[in-house]
Structure formats: C-alpha cells, structure tokens
C-alpha cells in the first residue's frame, strides 16, 4: 500500500510557501513608510519546487547521513530589493505588494483545492 502520497506533500509545501510569502507581503506593507526599509520576497513556488529533489534522489533523514539532501530541500531564502525609489531609501510599493498578496491568496487557494481534490479521490478509491 502507499506509505507516502506525494500530492499531499506538494499541496502542503505549496500552502506553507504561500503562508511564508504572505507574512513577507504583510511585513513589507507595514514598513511602507520606514526609512531605509527594502521590500522582501521569496522565490515563486514553481522555481523552488523545480530546484528541489527529484524522485529517486538520495534523502538524508538524519543529520548523521553523509549524502543526500535533508528535509524537503525547499530553498525559501528571503531576498530583498536592491535600492529604494523613495527619497528615504524605501523600496516598498503598496500597489505591488497588494498584487503580490492577491497572487499569494490564489496560490494558497490552489494548494487547498489540490488537497481537497486528492482527498475526494482517495475517499472514492476506498469506497467511503
């Protein structure tokens, strides 16, 4: 029987990514008038997932393993924009952050839809 269903892992990772990105969007909007603040963001999920481990790759489940990647290998490094456009060296654009917030909500909704659809298929296959 299946011990791991990758579709659930992907949906979980996608929702977690959306949550982390939403936190950064909120932080950016809160600091829109802070002098010297630079907008933060993370790579889109598509790029992060594409760079991750592939099926069949070695995975380290403990720190003592020499080879393989640890955990989910999702590189969600926070990046900041280079220079500010405002006279006070702030690079946050409220309009851009609002669009990023909408994009993040869509990503989170997509992750939940994938999860719900997968649960329906799993339940139907079990006859429940």
Structure confidence at residue 114 (pLDDT): 94
Structure confidence at residue 68 (pLDDT): 47
Structure confidence at residue 111 (pLDDT): 95
Structure confidence at residue 5 (pLDDT): 81
Structure confidence at residue 116 (pLDDT): 94
User: Of 69, 22, 70, 13, nearest to 42 (Cα)?
Assistant: 22
Structure confidence at residue 102 (pLDDT): 96
pLDDT tens-digit readout, 70-100: 445 555 677 777 666 677 888 888 999 999 9
Estimate to the nearest angstrom the gap between the alpha carbon of 71 and the chain centroid: 15
One digit per residue, pLDDT tens: the chain, 128 residues? 566 788 888 899 999 999 999 999 999 999 988 888 888 988 888 887 777 655 555 555 555 655 544 445 555 677 777 666 677 888 888 999 999 999 999 999 999 999 999 999 989 988 86
Structure confidence at residue 69 (pLDDT): 47
């Amino acid at each position: 029987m299946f011990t791991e269903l990758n579709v659930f892992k992907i949906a979980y990772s996608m929702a977690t990514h959306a949550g982390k990105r939403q936190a950064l969007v909120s932080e950016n909007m809160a600091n829109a008038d802070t002098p010297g603040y630079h907008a933060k963001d993370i790579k889109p999920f598509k790029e992060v997932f594409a760079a991750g481990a592939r099926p069949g790759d070695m995975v380290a489940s403990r720190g003592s393993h020499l080879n393989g990647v640890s955990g989910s290998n999702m590189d969600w490094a926070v990046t900041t924009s280079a220079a500010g456009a405002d006279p006070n060296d702030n690079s946050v654009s409220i309009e851009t952050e609002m669009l990023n917030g909408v994009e993040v909500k869509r990503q989170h909704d997509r992750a939940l839809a994938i999860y719900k659809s997968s649960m329906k298929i799993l339940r139907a296959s079990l006859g429940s």
